[in-house]
Amino acid sequence: MDRVSAFDEPLKKLLGGATAKVMAEHLDLHTVGDLLHHYPRRYEERGRLTAMTDLPLDEHVTVVAQVADARVMAFNNGRGKRLEVTLTDGHGRLQLVFFGHGVHKPHKELLPGRRAMFAGKVSVFNRKMQLAHPTYQLLDAESTDEAGATEAVDAFAGRLLPIYPACKQLDSWRIAKAVDAVLPSAQEAVDPLPPALREGRGFTALPEALLKIHRPQTKADIAAAKDRLKWDEAFVLQVALARRRYADTQLPAVARRPVPGGLLDAFDAELPFTLTDGQLKVSKEIFDDLATEHPMHRLLQGEVGSGKTLVALRAMLAVVDAGGQAAMLAPTEVLAQQHHRSITEMMGELAEGGMLGGSDRGTKVVLLTGSMGMPARRRALLDLVTGEAGIVIGTHALIEDKVQFHELGLVVVDEQHRFGVEQRDALRSKGKQPPHLLVMTATPIPRTVAMTVFGDLETSVLDQLPAGRSPIASHVVPAKDKPHFLSRAWERVREEVENGHQAYVVCPRIGDDEDEAAGKKGKRDAEQEGDKRPPLAVLDTAEQLAKGPLTGLRVEVLHGRMHPDDKDDVMRRFAAGQVDVLVATTVIEVGVNVPNATAMVIMDADRFGVSQLHQLRGRVGRGSAPGLCLLVSEAHEASPARARLSAVAATLDGFELSRIDLEERREGDVLGQAQSGVRSSLRVLSVIDDEEVIAAAREEAVKVVAADPDLEHLPELRLALDALLDKDREEYLDKG
């Protein structure tokens, strides 16, 4: 078998169809290579019982523990039987429960004093942690299942016990057996690290590292294997990104320099405030990039409300001054309309170029979205192709083939995580030469994540809030435990409105007929998770509030399925103060700017991610009055969901929250979404904890790519890249 095909061998050949099917469907493992890269999550030591004091709720866990006692209880007037088993580890206790026909075998086997591995989902019943119907494997030789127990003892005696990321259908120890079957293939591993780099850093050989991560003899084995495998992951990803950056530097672009006395100077002269030091510094970085003859690729990240739109607008005006057009791409129609409104307001008469009464130094600012009427759309397309419009703001309707530009010089993408790499490249291809690119994100990203997720972009950070922004107080409202807290929340909303302010109420769902199917699915999912109901909906909540606690206030709704004109109308009236309370979905998450809105109540807040909550909260406290954000939740006090909400309530620092967000989600998911085409490839590398590894791998990757851009002399590295990148993205990298 040659070196490549050993890793490409389908699992069903070695493991049998049923096991391979479960691995493919539930763990996304298809080949021998996939399984060899499915590393243990942690290791248990023989003879040491697992600490049970901090088991995560609602997660599948594997514990090694001893049976303290077991008893069969009758219920339903003696018609039903329940086996309750108590496990101990010397520190804490954990309850197991088996029902019905599932009682007999464990009742015979789980006798006091027995030790076993147990796997199941942690839930709470009567305020006690429990596993219902866990699967288990006995670890002592006196077991009734002699063959199984002897095998378990042989496999784990005196060794570290690998605990694998598992699923309901396949336990950790069954995965361990499958790994044993494919482990000989580790000898065929193709080593992606260039020999000089491997030797220079004294790394373990790759086959040995794979052997040590799966079947370590000592803790030192695990450390050596992890060091090596982290480097592989970091280095291969950084090479992919370095090749992309290198390809971009080979592209030509038109240098765009601001013209003295032009549009930008006229705009700056009219600004009613001075720019922050941060805005000036970042603007200089952008203007320096725009002045070069290869395309700028810059990520502008900043805290909610740090003034990113203003910085981007100044860059767009500089490009218009230099004879180019600028396009701003927004993820939703609401946001595109909001940007169009705020940019035309900021520019004043400078946005009326070519119109009677407009400024002679001005330019036309047009809006282009998918749902515009034909006459307005035709006019906008004509303004773009003739060059009449210097600035266009739109949704991905801008990417369509029909859209032609006179001279596209700059593309600004708002909220990068909503756009795939392909979409931003489709817009870039509309320039005669590649336009400059500025990507804005309001989700603060830790430095290492920026290096990994947005590693093909240079990064600018705006971390200073403009003067005059108010503090936001955040509190968790435990609606289930303390219903009177929720009543008080609606009183607080009334108080804000009585003081002349406005409020948002955010819900996870719309709740109309089209939503019904999703609601049913949500209800099913919720019931499976032990919740009693589907997420709250905008339409129902608005009706209940208007008839109940907020009677007499002007309550309106806003959601993504409304007609664009209706959405725009509601937003205009809310901005003008004609609506007291706006009940909305997350369409208000980014870019919506109503300084008079001071309060926000987020219903079912535990259904939202950390950065999403931070984004939503950023809609209040935008004026001189302090902001208030109430996170309403029915989640159990000890649950991870409540811990997440408490973390959001405790800090306004987006960078800190983004770390919490990452620690909670698997980083691979983050990378998988943001880098279109890159599979969830991070298994041992942590983009939070391994900052030094990522920074060093980036340096090495830059050197390797500078010396050999096509990796002609490094075929093994090229193979590893092929495995990381899918075909479309690989072609894209080749094209640059």
d(CA 200, CA 626): 56
- The residue among 642 and 724 whose pLDDT is bigger is 642
- Token pair 């169009």 is found at 340
Q: Which two tokens stand for residue 277?
A: 């030091």
User: How buried is residue 124: exposed, middle or buried, by Cβ count under 10 Å (0-12/13-18/19+)?
Assistant: middle
Q: What is the pLDDT of residues 260-292, one digit of tens each?
A: 888 999 999 988 888 888 899 999 999 999 999
Tokens of 160: 């570290």
- Burial of 393-415, coded b for 16+ CB within 10 Å and e otherwise, reads bbbbbbbeeebebbbbbbbbbbb
597 vs 677: CA distance, rounded Å: 40
Binning the chain into helix, strand and coil, the percentages to the nearest 5 are: 45, 20, 35
Given a cut of 70, whether residue 313 has pLDDT beyond it is yes
User: CB within 8 A of 144, min separation 6: which ones?
Assistant: 108, 109
**Closest C-alpha among 15, 335, 303, 367 to residue 178:** 15
Q: Is the pLDDT of residue 52 over 90?
A: no
Structure tokens at 85: 């088993």
**Given a cut of 70, is residue 55 above it in pLDDT?**
yes
Identity at 405, one-letter amino acid code: F
* Cα dist from 718 to 35, 190, 506, 581, 696, whole Å: 21, 11, 48, 56, 20
Type and span of the H or E element at 627:
strand 627-633
Please list, in sequence order, all residues whose beta carbon lies within 8 angstroms of the beta carbon of residue 535, skipping any fewer than 6 positions away. 507, 508, 509, 522, 526, 604, 607
In total, the chain counts a number of residues equal to: 736
What's the pLDDT band for 46 if we cut at 50, 70, 90? low
Residue 30 pLDDT > 60: yes
Residues in a beta bridge with 389: 364
- R_g of the chain computed on alpha carbons: 29
- Residue 51's pLDDT is what? 64
**Beta bridge mates, 62:** 119
299's enclosing H/E stretch is: strand 297-302
Q: Is the pLDDT of residue 416 over 80?
A: no
For the cut 70, the answer to whether the pLDDT of residue 156 exceeds it is no
Q: Which residue has the tokens 């937003």?
A: 571
Phi and psi torsions of 8, nearest 5°: -90, -5
Tell me the pairing of strands 436-441 and 408-414. Answer: parallel
Residue with tokens 């709720």: 57
3-state secondary structure 99-149: EHHHHHHHHHHCCCCCEEEEEEEEEEECCEEEEECCEEEECCCCCCCHHHH
Q: What are phi and psi of 576, to 5 degrees?
A: -85, 0
HSE-CB at 551 with a 13 A cutoff on CA atoms is: 3
Q: Around 569, how many Cα atoms within 13 Å sit in the side-chain half-sphere?
A: 7
Query: Which pLDDT score, from 0 to 100, does residue 704 have?
Result: 93
- As a whole-number percent, the residues of the chain with pLDDT over 70 amount to 83
Question: Taking the chain, what is the end-to-end CA distance rounded to the nearest angstrom?
Answer: 35
d(CA 674, CA 698): 18
Binned at pLDDT 50, 70 and 90, residue 221 comes out as: very high
CA distance 395 to 332: 6
Res. 668: pLDDT tops 70: no
> pLDDT by residue (tens digit) across 191-213?
899 998 999 989 989 999 999 99
- How far apart (Å, rounded) are the C-alpha atoms in residues 417 and 145? 52
> What is the pLDDT at residue 591?
61
Q: Compute CA distances 232 → 9, 208, 691, 717, whole Å.
A: 21, 14, 15, 10
Question: Comparing C-alpha atoms, which of 84, 170, 176 is closest to residue 126?
Answer: 84
DSSP 372: S
Closest CA to 236 of 723, 706, 729: 723
Please report where in the chains the tokens 């086996």 appear, as a residue.
83
Q: Return the SS3 of 581.
A: strand
Answer yes or no: is pLDDT of 128 > 90: no
> Does residue 345 contact residue 429 with C-beta atoms inside 8 Å?
no
- pLDDT at position 705 over 90: yes
Q: In this predicted structure, what is the pLDDT of residue 355?
A: 56
Report how far residue 701's alpha carbon sits from residue 528's, in angstroms, rounded to the nearest whole number: 46
Supply the mean pLDDT for the chain. 81
- Centroid of chain to Cα 168: 24
Q: Which residues of 177-215 are buried (b: 16+ CB within 10 A; e: fewer)?
A: ebbeebbebbebbbbbbbeebbeeeebbebbbbbbbbbb
Residue 383 is inside which H or E element, if any? helix 374-386
- Give residue-wise pLDDT tens across range 569-610: 898 899 899 999 999 998 776 667 788 999 999 999 998 888
